[in-house]
Amino acid sequence: MTETKNEIRVARNHKDRLFRMIFREKKELLSLYNAVNGTFYTNAEDLEIVTLENAIYMNMKNDLAFIMDSYLNLYEHQSTYSPNMPLRDLFYIAKELQGQVNHRDLYRNTLIKIPTPRFLVFYNGSEEQAEKKYLRLSDAFQKSMDDPDLELVVTMLNINLGKNRKLLNQCKTLKEYAIYVEKVRTYAKSLKNVEEAVDRAVTECINEGILREFLLQNRKEAVEMSIFEYDEEAVFEIVRKDEYEKGHQEGIIEGKVESILELLEDISTIPDKVRERIHNEKDIKVLNSWLKLAAKAESIDEFVSKM
């Protein structure tokens, strides 16, 4: 990111995201686990953190991985929707289990017991998504099967303010995080300055007792992470809009090409060179003029002569 008067340089190799930084504390993570599962565990020390801190597989890291009550929980926060989370989690869980199982034990005649995996994504992007959504690895298979030999299901929970109210009410810190994110977005829109928006949101949250202790202790890091994450989300939004507009434009072009060809086919057989030229044309103005010509032409030769 280029540094200007209105921007702060933020390292793009931050080890933590704000969500991960907040919930890496066992007490907060246990509260989140209880809210998700409807449990009431109180001893945070029963929770074993197993996040791969130093191993980055395919340049991806999982936000939080921990074992609780014989469940291996993989929690991921996302501000942009990705249907590829099951595939990412497949890579990650394989790497995680490799670290927990002795390779030699794989060849013994006794069954190796492993904790039961659970995969969750906490989504709070600006793109509208359902409160709860199941992402399946099998959706990516080129050949669909009713009962695939390999499956991995990721549960995506929308934690934007106003979504999954019961979940947010059961985890105070998660709700306060949602409020903080909403404040950043609101001020970013009105102030047109991300750094100022984040700083105001942090100050306001501290004054209102929202994530107060965390923000007081980690204000600098929280501000930097929030600026980076908001900028990253904005970039993805621009890319999505560009892709939509590109696809929309391509659809218009394709429709006009087909209309021209249909009109000409009603007249006579279209020579291959003429058909190819029409297919290769990408200028909408040119296609519009050809469409008018095709509608009026009484022969292919007449159309070609006026192209």
- The pLDDT of residue 3 is above 90: no
Sign of the alpha-carbon dihedral angle for 12, 215, 200, 171: positive
- pLDDT of 248: 63
Strands 132-136 and 153-158: antiparallel
Query: Tokens 């057989």 label which residue?
Result: 269
Going from N- to C-terminal start, the domains of the chain cover 10-170, 247-305
pLDDT band at 232, cuts 50/70/90?
low
> Is 145 within 8 Å of 128 (Cβ atoms)?
no
- pLDDT of 235: 46
Greater model confidence, 202 or 51: 202
Query: Tokens 């099998």 label which residue?
Result: 138
Q: CA angle, 89 as apex, 46 and 91 as ends, to 5°?
A: 110
- Closest listed residue to residue 88, CA positions, set 65, 62, 70, 107: 62
* Structure tokens that stand for 259 in this block: 């209309």
- pLDDT of 55: 45
The secondary structure of 99-159 as a DSSP string is HHS-GGGGGSSSPPP-PEEEEEEEE--SS---SEEEEEGGGG-SS--SS-SS--EEEEEE-
- Quote the CA–CA distance of 288 and 253 in Å, as a whole number: 10
pLDDT band at 218, cuts 50/70/90?
very high
* Structure tokens that stand for 64 in this block: 């939080």
- pLDDT of 258: 85
E strands within the chain?
Answer: 48-49, 64-68, 71-78, 116-123, 132-136, 153-158
- Closest listed residue to residue 155, CA positions, set 173, 139, 136: 136
Q: Which whole number is the average pLDDT over 210-231?
A: 89
The DSSP call for residue 269 is P
Query: Tokens 């991921």 label which residue?
Result: 76
Query: Tokens 């996302």 label which residue?
Result: 78
Q: What is the pLDDT of residues 78-92, one digit of tens each?
A: 988 999 999 999 999
Greater model confidence, 246 or 98: 98
Q: Which whole number is the average pLDDT over 56-70?
A: 73
* Structure tokens that stand for 167 in this block: 């979940």
> Is 19 within 8 Å of 160 (Cβ atoms)?
no
Specify the 3-state DSSP secondary structure of 202. Answer: helix
> Is 33 within 8 Å of 40 (Cβ atoms)?
no
How far are the Cα atoms of 90, 246, 248 from residue 239, in angstroms, in the given order?
A: 27, 10, 14
Greater model confidence, 123 or 56: 123
